[in-house]
Amino acid sequence: MRKRRQLPFFEKIKITDIGAEGKAIAKINDLIVFIPYVIPGDIVDIQINKKKKNFLEGYAVKFHEYSADRQEPFCSHFGLCGGCKWQILPYPDQLKFKQKQVVDNLERIGKIKLKQVNDILPSEKTTYYRNKLEFSFSNKRWLTNDEIDNEGNEIKQMNALGFHIPKKFDKILDIDHCYLQKEPSNKIRIAVKNYALENNLSFFDLRKQTGFLRNLIIRTSTTNELMVIVSFYYEDKDEREKLLNHLSGNFTEITSLMYVINSKPNDSITDLDIKLFKGNDHFFEIMENLKFKIGPKSFYQTNSEQAYNLYKIVREFADLSGNENVYDLYTGTGTIANFVAKQSKKVIGIEYVKEAIEDAKINSTLNKISNTEFFAGDIKDILSQEFIDEKGKPDVIIIDPPRAGMHKNVIESILYAMPEKIVYVSCNPATQARDINLLLDNYSVEKIQPVDMFPHTHHVENVALLKLKMA
């Protein structure tokens, strides 16, 4: 049997920077090493656990010196659940590295000469800012090192309701308190778990595909409405109703209590029938003088307050006079399309998810907006030259694609349409830079505005304004 090669171990290495995916950086023998849960200024011993041609990955096993900038993490689950990895980094430093990430990607990948780079827009809230969380039930909770090392400790309780451990698809970390969503989010999660334990309800086993309780989704709103969705693996009407009645009886603030039976191998419920148990099958978000109807499958930016600031930047960059034809690509539920409609002649929204387009139409009707038109389907197929000729060439195109960015056919169609302005919103500056590079023969990047939507993570949103070059 071939013996596994021992990976290197390095002592007293200084962390110097932060790079891809929010991991910190050290340099050893001219090789870049990526390490999580450390910050620049820390001096640590590093165990390498992944060796690539041009870089190494490792983890800190001992701290010799802490960075003067390091702060104490506020969450007891720090380092395990995989979220909020930058708690040890002061918020102003988080913003600095996010800004650097945006600029580095645009200049290095996009080969873009940046004219105006606005300072990143901070999030007013750095905790309890999310409006949606999804928790998973598991009968195989993640055991901490303390539990494993304590030989005399008999572990009786293996059920959990919490988050997936990174890269461990079937292991769930039981969460005591999460700082991402405002109350009663924590209270509801704990109440559901306690009820399940007290009444011997079975927690899901992802490998064996057994167990009654599967997922818990909690959605809060700025209008103080509250939606809770419980996902069960199979129907048991009696037990399901007792649990849901327990929830509604103890949390009268729930305005929409729903459930779904999901017996599929995966947790996704977008293709399933979500049923109403009590209350309304939706709630509303308000932005300026607009109301947005949010159903159980509706997408809405998860940081509501910062989403409003983001959309204001998009509108400012578009600089609409009221005479423009606007295309809103990857429109989702039409939030941006409806937000800019009153400053536009006409807005055409295109989105892959059919249910999202139905929401977009409802939101236009709800707000008495009559100059929007929405189309469902793959954008690379819908946004053809024939479509553009029929609907009229856009003066402004707004783009907000998923992390993977745009398909090359979409970029070709944009170049055929040749709008005067493109406002490109992205949650991934790397793919944004790649896409913009393909537009540089015809467009110049006038300004960019990074926006922090997710404090204590490395994720950053960026808005770029492109203008058509004069012939």
- What amino acid positions are annotated as catalytic residues? 427
Which residues, in sequence order, are bridge partners of residue 399?
A: 329, 424
- Distance in angstroms (rounded) separating the CA atoms of residues 461 and 16: 24
Residue 41 neighbours by CB under 8 Å, 6+ apart = 14, 15, 65, 66, 67, 68, 69, 70
Is 254 in contact with 331 (CB distance < 8 Å)?
no
3-state secondary structure of 269: coil
Report residue 386 as tokens: 């024939």
Task: Tell me how far apart the alpha carbons of residues 39 and 302 are, in angstroms, rounded to a whole number.
Answer: 27
Residue type, 406: M
In whole angstroms, what is the distance from residue 85 CA to residue 267 CA?
Answer: 24
Q: How far is CA 128 from the centre of its chain?
A: 15
Angle formed by the axes of helices 429-437 and 91-108, nearest 10°: 20
Q: Who contacts 29 (Cβ-Cβ below 8 Å, separation ≥6)?
A: none
Would you say 123 and 452 are in contact if contact means Cβ atoms under 8 Å apart? yes
What secondary structure letter does DSSP report for 3? P
The distance of Cα 457 from the centroid of its chain, to the nearest Å, equals 10
Instruction: Report the distance separating Cα 34 and Cα 50, nearest Å.
Output: 10
Choose among 111, 73, 89: nearest CA to 23: 89
Pairing of strands 9-14, 24-28: unpaired
Q: How far apart are CA 62 and CA 255, in angstroms?
A: 49
Cis peptide before 40 (omega within 30 of 0): no
Which has the closest alpha carbon to 394: 369, 424, 414, 410? 414
